[in-house]
Amino acid sequence: MSTFILVHGAWHGGWCWYKVVPLLQQAGHKAIAVDLPAFGRDRTDVREVSLQSYVDRVCAAMDDQPGRAILVGHGRGGIVISQTAEQRPARVEKLIYLAAFLLPGGDSILPWALDDRESLLVPNLAVNRAQGYVTVKEEGYREALYGDCPDEDIALAAALLTPEPIAPLVTLLDLSERNFGRVMRVYIETLRDNAVTLRAQRRMQAAVPCATVISLNTGHAPFFSAPQELADRLAAA
């Protein structure tokens, strides 16, 4: 049995894994979907959120479990699991990046995201600098994030998506070979992704190589569109 800690991406919360958690549990694993600060049921003010506060939340989830955990990060969650592995490498069995930002130390998400010129997500972002957050325009998120997802899940997301704090997006990762570098990495790429495009995913894989790369023929949200296949791939990885 493995312990999976599922780390959601931008605008989402632990709720986005609602199909995957029971499938992993049915396969005999433990699965924990965290709410990062300011997401899901957590009511932290977005202006108080930092990358370290995300890491602290994941570390707390690991501390509540015996042994080592497999960290799964979706989208922006990739930087969270990377920085967590740097801080607690002995507690992390494996890192799995799901259409996620897998970045070298010293980099932040923002330039990598802006360089993804084929992304349908970037032109549909609305930035509120005064309040320190970014949202996705309602008219753009369906095609960018959920093009192959059931209507009921798109409706769920429409009701539950929350503003994304800017501060973690511009924070430089502090990673070392001694800590982060010693933890095994797996990348699950999404071949029809309109948010973090396949070109961008493969550019990141080239910059920070993984031991294994798995391909899913889905858009950016396989936890909605292909939960059984995703759960099977997670368990096999």
Token pair belonging to 42: 């957590």
Q: What is the pLDDT of residue 138?
A: 83
Distances (CA, A) of 43 to 13, 40, 136: 12, 8, 20
Position 141 confidence tier, pLDDT thresholds 50, 70, 90 = confident
Q: What does the pLDDT average to over 225-234?
A: 98
First to last CA, the chain: 13
For 53, the enclosing helix (H) or strand (E) is helix 51-63
Decide if pLDDT at 1 tops 90.
Answer: no
Q: In this predicted model, what pLDDT tens digit does every residue of 188-224 receive, in sequence order?
A: 999 999 999 999 999 999 999 999 999 999 999 999 9
Radius of gyration of the chain (CA): 16
Q: What does the pLDDT average to over 183-192?
A: 98
CATH number, domain containing residue 230 = 3.40.50.1820
Decide if pLDDT at 140 tops 90.
Answer: no
Position 229 confidence tier, pLDDT thresholds 50, 70, 90 = very high
Q: What is the pLDDT of residue 59?
A: 98
Position 237 confidence tier, pLDDT thresholds 50, 70, 90 = confident
Q: What is the pLDDT of residue 86?
A: 98
Domain that holds residue 15: 3-236
How high is the mean pLDDT of the chain?
A: 96
Percent residues over pLDDT 70 in the chain: 100
Q: What does the pLDDT average to over 174-196?
A: 98
Our count of domains for the chain comes to 1
Q: In this predicted model, what pLDDT tens digit does every residue of 92-125 receive, in sequence order?
A: 999 999 999 999 999 999 999 999 999 999 999 9
User: How far is CA 163 from its chain centroid?
Assistant: 15
Q: In this predicted model, what pLDDT tens digit does every residue of 30-59 receive, in sequence order?
A: 999 999 999 999 999 999 999 999 999 999
Percent residues over pLDDT 90 in the chain: 96
CA atoms within a 13 Å half-sphere pointing along the CA-CB vector of 136 = 23
Residue count of the chain, please give it: 237
Q: What does the pLDDT average to over 55-83?
A: 97
Q: What is the pLDDT of residue 139?
A: 83
